[in-house]
Amino acid sequence: MRTPIVAGNWKMNKTVSEAISLAESLKGLLANVKGRTVVVCPPFTALYALGAVIKNTNILLGAQNVFGEERGAWTGEVSPLMLKELGCSYVLIGHSERRKYFGETDEGVNVKMKLSLTHNLKPIVCVGEREDERERGKTIEVVTRQVKAAFEELDSAMIKEVVIAYEPVWAIGTGKNATGEDANSVIGLIRGIIKEKYGQEIGQAIRILYGGSVKPENIEEFMQEEEIDGALVGGESLKAESFARIVKFGME
């Protein structure tokens, strides 16, 4: 039985004081939640403050990105060593906005995966097709390429804590979302790729999320599907009540 996981990606939102306020609200709303992994990924500037707020709670800290080197002359970048010291358990890698706007490549995603795992940071690696790729029937080709590249040269011992997020790019921040059936089909494909590479047991155990305009009103549609293990939530994670409702799907 895979433990459901819900991660909130706050993107470039919330000052430190605003982030603390949101985290304090979430602490209260999620205090009694069990059997779910809950992760919040604030901006880098708020990581230290949030680490203190959510310490010893059932909310885990994640970063939105990481650089592929431990240290050096890389102005503006943040290393996995820094994230671990701040108390991060998870890190988003390869988010579509990083790929689209900052030129991140499949190869770069793989470098970040390896280094994060070396430092016991659990990657949430994002994959997904653009709208034009979907319209041209390229979804399977694109997602397969991204998954295989992300896991290149990673052995089975390394990937047990990896989470995969299927985020169709056309559904992120657009109000559009895949149907539960569509998302389940692609996530089933992803799980099949992992099974082929690492075996049935690991493929069955790895957690795969759906992301893309997830709301309290549609979370059940996705979570009733067999292959989907949770959600990577964008805009709705900035609202304490909404995010809490998503986390508590099926519990109320």
Contact call for residues 189 and 183 (beta carbons, < 8 A): no
- Taking CB atoms within 8 Å and a gap of at least 24, the contacts of 246-251 are 246/6, 246/214, 246/215, 246/216, 246/219, 247/6, 247/30, 247/33, 247/36, 247/38, 248/30, 248/33, 249/219, 249/220, 249/223, 250/220, 250/223, 251/33
Q: Are 26 and 47 in contact (CB under 8 A)?
A: no
Whole-structure pTM value: 0.95
Residue boundaries of the structural domains of the chain: 5-247
DSSP 45: G
Query: Given a cut of 90, is residue 176 above it in pLDDT?
Result: no
CA 62 from centre of chain: 9
Q: Is pLDDT of 174 > 70?
A: no
**Which of 97, 129, 167, 221 is labelled catalytic?**
167
What would the mean pLDDT of 149-161 be, rounded to a whole number? 94
Q: What is the pLDDT of residues 10-39, one digit of tens each?
A: 999 999 999 999 999 999 999 999 999 999
Residue from 98, 170, 94 nearest 134 by CA? 170
Please give the average per-residue pLDDT across 214-219, as a whole number.
95
Q: What is the pLDDT of residue 131?
A: 85
Contact 107, 148 (CB under 8 A): no
Q: pLDDT-based confidence at 178, cuts 50/70/90?
A: confident
95 a catalytic residue: yes
147 in Cβ contact with 127 (< 8 Å): yes
Q: Report the pLDDT value the prediction gives residue 169, as an integer from 0 to 100.
A: 83
pLDDT for the residue 173: 64
> Which percentage of the chain shows pLDDT scores above 90?
88
pLDDT band at 171 (very low <50, low <70, confident <90, very high): confident
On average, the pLDDT of the chain sits at: 95
Query: What confidence category does residue 251 fall into, taking pLDDT thresholds of 50, 70 and 90?
Result: confident
Distance CA 171, CA 214 (A): 9
Count, in order, helices (H) and strands (E) of the chain: 11, 8
SS3 call for 170:
helix
Q: What is the mean pLDDT of residues 80-92?
A: 97
Tokens of 190: 């992803």
Tell me, yes or no, if 119 is annotated catalytic: no
Decide if pLDDT at 177 tops 80: no
Pairing of strands 90-93, 122-127: parallel
Q: Hey, is 16 helix, strand or coil? A: helix
The answer on pLDDT for 9 being more than 80 is: yes
Position 61 scores a pLDDT of 98
23 contact partners, CB below 8 Å, separation of at least 6: 40, 42, 50, 53, 54, 59
What pLDDT does 1 receive?
A: 79
Q: How confident is the model at residue 152 (pLDDT cuts 50, 70, 90)?
A: very high
| Whole-angstrom distance, CA of residue 189 vs CA of residue 132 | 20
pLDDT digits (tens, 9 = 90+) for 198-212: 999 999 999 999 998
CATH number for the domain running over 5-247: 3.20.20.70
Residue 67 pLDDT exceeds 70: yes
